[in-house]
A and B are shown apart, each in its own frame.
Chain A
Amino acid sequence: MPLTIAAAAKQIAARTLSPVELAQERLARAEALNSTIWAFIRITPEPALAAAKAAEARQMSGSLKGPLDGIPFAHKDIYCTAGIPTTAHSAQFIDHVPAEDATTVKWLADAGVVSLGKLATHEFAFGGPSFDLPWPPAHNPWNPKHFTAGSSSGTGAAVSAGIIMGGTGSDTGGSIRGPSALCGIAGIKPTYGLCPRTGILPLAQSLDHAGPMARTAEDCALLLQAMAGHDPADPASAKVEIPDYAAALNQGVKGKTIGVIRHFHEVDNPVSPATLAGIERAIAALKEAGAIIKDVTLPSLQEFNNAGWVILMAEAYSVHETRMQTAPEKFGEGLRHRLAFGGLVTGADYIAAQKRRLELIARTQAATEGCDLLITAVAPGEAPPIDKVPKWAMLEKPGFTIPGNILGWPAMSVFTGLGAGELPVAAQIIGKPFDDAGVLAAGHLLEKALGTLELAPGI
């Protein structure tokens, strides 16, 4: 099994693993693999080794900061990093060097992570895969001819390839869960407002979520511990007590009611045979562990997608309006065209979408009363070839992840096995607001029950 954050932390604490040697090994792996999977926009050996040396000094003096101290990590390139370019994978921001770290970058650095560099993203977290940007799109380590999904594409690829043990992602319509699913790792979109977005380049602020991606639910729990908290600089930041996510991992699901949103993945957008089989295996494992399983009927996936895409596109256009009007050619074609549609959303359309969002939340709350967790698909199937991803795919069939952004409820991708072409498939676990710990615990249980912790790409 590839080394996880939890296992590495134990070895670092026992002084059997050197943070400096670990960073050197992972930097070399990043350099060796990047021309195949293009996970990194920028590898930063000097600050990485400086951080690793500081972690090793703490290791030797018995003053480690916790389980993230000395862990190889990297940030999606929309997370601002002081003194290090933060480009959003775009020619628009190619010279953008922030003066300050994003809040979560600072909190993770305070916890001791060793950042190896900046990771590929779909342009401004919305435009890919694009082949007309300053850097290529990330490719899937399970088969580099295939797509990673996005937009946290570099994080998905780098974790999956065993370069970093964890990384940051952002999720506005599925950008943490999608690449986690297609790259065979774990990723949680936390409850809206749990992790501050201060210093993260926005896509659509009423839907934007920051969150962690890692090999396992346990590692996501360790990372979420450092990323969650109140930041008054983010107007959406929640003031809630942060539980001990790692301690809650073994709570299991006994006695919990889990709603299966069967119509999402069987009727609204039927999934591949392997994806469906993975969901059924997950349901069986949850039942075996003592959960009460029942089908639930939510508003249709299309209804969620109608409201979600209109809100997302309108807000994204609002963020980029000046650039679209003055230098549209500096965007890749994919993002330019999506933003153009956002510019055509009227004020009445946008308000109608926000009203529909409130109504969808109310209907979902009513339909899931008594349920602790929900389960459905993350993606319709295995990763397609990266050069065969239709530009307008997101509008052609309704996606499974945007309901989580509309609702703001926590949702994670759980690796359920391998499908066609030996490519990963996944299930999505959704929880009630601020029960991120319950979602992670279900993911932890499933990873062990389904045996997917042992699986890794042969790259």
Chain B
Amino acid sequence: MSEIPTPETMSLMLARAGISLPPAEVEELRQHWPLFAPMLAGLRKPALPTSAELAVTFKASR
């Protein structure tokens, strides 16, 4: 379980996304952020060496 962010950090994160919510809702999101943060952290642990990473690419078509 990751740590609950400070109220200031939570407000800053939401403001960066352009989201403005009532204080009680910001507090609920802050309390539940530790449910979501580990999912993000789990993705940042490389499963493959950098040289073997699968690339997200684009395929041009006519």
Interface residues of A (CB under 8 A from B): 302-303, 305-307, 309-310, 317, 321, 324-325, 328, 333, 336-337, 340-341, 343-345, 348-349, 351-356, 358-359, 362, 392, 395-396
Contact = CB atoms under 8 A, between A and B. Distances in A.
15 contacts: A302-B42, A303-B42, A306-B38, A306-B42, A325-B19, A344-B17, A348-B44, A351-B56, A355-B53, A355-B55, A356-B47, A358-B56, A359-B47, A362-B54, A395-B32
A319 to B, nearest CB: 14
B23 interface: no
Given A355-B53, A396-B35, A340 B40 contact: no
B39 A395 contact: yes
Nearest to B57: A358
A355 B48 CA distance: 10
B20 interface: yes
Interface centre among B28, B29, B42 (most CB of A within 10 A): B42
Interface string B19-47: 11100010011001101101110111001
Interface of A: prevailing SS: helix
Interface of B: 13-14, 17-21, 25, 28-29, 32-33, 35-36, 38-40, 42-44, 47-48, 53-56
B14 A343 contact: yes
A337 B29 contact: yes
A1 to B, nearest CB: 43
A328 B17 CA distance: 13
Contacts of A340: 14, 17, 19, 21, 25, 29
B42 A341 contact: no
A337 B47 contact: no
B54 A359 contact: yes
B19 A306 contact: no
Contacts of A341: 29, 33, 36
A356 to B, nearest CB: 5
Nearest to B47: A359
B25 A356 contact: no
Nearest to A394: B35
A348 B47 CA distance: 15
A325 B18 contact: yes
B25 A337 contact: yes
A310 B25 contact: no
Given A340-B14, A345-B40, 4 more contacts: A306-B43, A336-B25, A340-B21, A358-B54
B56 A310 contact: no
B36 A395 contact: yes
B43 A349 contact: yes
A305 to B, nearest CB: 7
B40 A310 contact: yes
A353 B44 CA distance: 9
B36 A328 contact: no
Given A310-B43, A341-B29, A354-B56, A359 B48 contact: yes
Give the most central of B14, B19, B35: most A CB within 10 Å.
B19
B54 A392 contact: no
Nearest to B39: A306
B32 to A, nearest CB: 5
7 closest Cβ contacts across the A-B interface?
Answer: A343-B17, A358-B54, A395-B35, A352-B43, A306-B39, A306-B42, A325-B18
Contacts of B38: 306
A340 B18 CA distance: 10
A336 B36 CA distance: 15
Nearest to A325: B18
A343 B18 contact: yes
B42 A333 contact: no
Contacts of A337: 25, 28-29, 32
Contacts of A351: 56
A395 B42 CA distance: 13
A310 B38 CA distance: 11
Nearest to A341: B36
Given A341-B36, A395-B35, A321 B56 contact: no
